[in-house]
Structure formats: structure tokens, C-alpha cells
């Protein structure tokens, strides 16, 4: 699971995106770069993306942000993890719910919220400058699973084609799992999108 930290160079305010776990390591990284986490953003509510929420919120006082359609997943993380024979750390309730299309101000950075349902009903991507943080919507050469509760293959494909592929081809795509890619690379080579 890939966790990302986005920080404003001027204000040193930061957002932690999808802290799946290892909160102590994330806190060390924040300290190393003199960043203050003011928000934790979950691109969706699946248990592998929220495991560090509780510890990070306690340590930083940050707000917890997720799309309104995935808010209910936070409270059911334990049962979803159990279905895979795993255990999940419960997440606190979100402090801000998104609907998609809004922007989040992080110091001098503006993160555009793009609602991309399909992997989960409330999946979002965050677009800032030429970087796109996609959670589990899009991967290098693949797409997110749609066989989990609330998943829908046709909806995910439509989300990607209508909302992500029109972005500039040079846009760097950072997924929730696996390596970075670009919009141009996925347009050309992703077998799920051709």
C-alpha cells in the first residue's frame, strides 16, 4: 500500500494521503521535513488505506477527510479485513466529507478532488499541479478491483475514461499500490482502457 505526503514548501502544512499503517514512520518523515500534518485524506475507505488514521490523528490533531459515499466504510473496516483473514485498526469518524469537484487548500497548494467511483462508491483522486494521486482507481497497466462490495466495473471504467484520461498526458499518476505511471502511458498501454 502506497501512502503519500503532500506538503506546501512555504507554509510547511501537509496532508497525509492513505496512511495504511506504519504511522510512526509517517510521523518521522513529517518531522524530518519539518512538515505539520493538518489533514489526513483517504482516497477511499478500504481497510488497507486507513490503518494509520487513528494514530496519526491522535499525534497531529489533523482533520480526517473522505468522500461522503465511503464514510460508512470506515466504521466497517474490521469486518472487511476479517473477510480476508486480516485485522484492521478502527478509524475515527471523518471530520469532513467530500462530494467531489471541490478543492482542498493546503497552504499555497490547491488539491482538486475528482470523484472516481467504481472501486468503491466514494473513491476520489487528488490532482495538484501535474500530479494525480489515484488511490485504487488506476494502476500502472491495470485498474482497481471491482469485485468488492460497492464496486462496479462499468462505473470505474467510465470514471477513468471521462475524468482522468482527459488530463494532460504528462500527468504523473501515483497509485495506491505499485509503481508510478503517467496518463499518457495508461492511454497507450493499459489493456483495461483500450
- pLDDT (0 to 100) of residue 194: 86
The answer to the question of residue 76 being in a domain is: yes
CATH code for the domain in which residue 91 is found: 3.60.15.10
Domain count, the chain: 1
Strand pairing report for 4-7 and 13-17: antiparallel
Per-residue pLDDT of the chain (194 residues; tens, 9 = 90+): 999 999 999 999 999 999 999 999 999 999 999 999 999 999 999 999 999 999 999 999 999 999 999 999 888 887 888 888 888 888 999 999 999 999 999 999 999 999 999 999 999 999 999 999 999 999 999 999 999 889 999 999 999 999 999 999 999 999 999 999 999 999 999 999 98
- pLDDT (0 to 100) of residue 26: 98
Which residues lie closer than 8 Å to 26 by C-beta, 6 or more apart? 3, 5, 16, 19, 52, 56
The answer to the question of residue 194 being in a domain is: no
The answer to the question of residue 150 being in a domain is: yes
What is the span of the domain harbouring residue 89? 4-189
Amino acid at each position: 500500500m502506497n501512502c503519500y505526503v503532500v506538503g506546501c514548501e512555504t507554509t510547511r502544512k501537509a496532508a497525509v494521503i492513505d496512511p495504511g499503517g506504519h504511522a510512526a514512520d509517517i510521523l518521522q518523515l513529517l518531522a524530518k521535513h519539518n512538515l505539520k500534518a493538518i489533514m489526513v485524506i483517504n482516497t477511499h475507505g478500504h481497510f488497507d488505506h486507513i490503518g494509520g488514521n487513528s494514530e496519526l490523528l491522535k499525534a497531529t490533531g489533523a482533520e480526517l477527510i473522505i468522500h461522503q459515499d465511503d464514510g460508512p466504510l470506515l466504521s466497517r473496516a474490521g469486518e472487511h479485513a476479517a473477510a480476508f483473514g486480516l485485522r484492521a485498526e478502527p478509524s475515527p469518524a471523518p471530520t469532513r466529507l467530500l462530494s467531489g469537484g471541490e478543492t482542498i487548500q493546503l497552504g499555497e497548494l490547491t488539491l482538486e478532488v475528482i470523484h472516481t467511483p467504481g472501486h468503491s462508491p466514494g473513491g476520489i483522486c487528488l490532482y495538484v499541479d501535474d500530479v494525480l494521486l489515484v488511490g485504487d482507481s488506476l494502476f500502472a497497466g491495470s485498474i482497481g478491483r471491482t469485485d468488492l462490495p460497492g464496486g462496479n466495473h462499468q462505473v470505474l471504467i467510465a470514471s477513468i475514461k471521462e475524468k482522468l484520461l482527459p488530463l494532460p498526458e504528462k500527468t504523473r499518476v501515483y497509485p495506491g499500490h505499485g509503481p508510478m505511471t503517467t496518463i499518457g502511458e495508461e492511454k497507450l498501454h493499459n489493456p483495461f482502457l483500450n
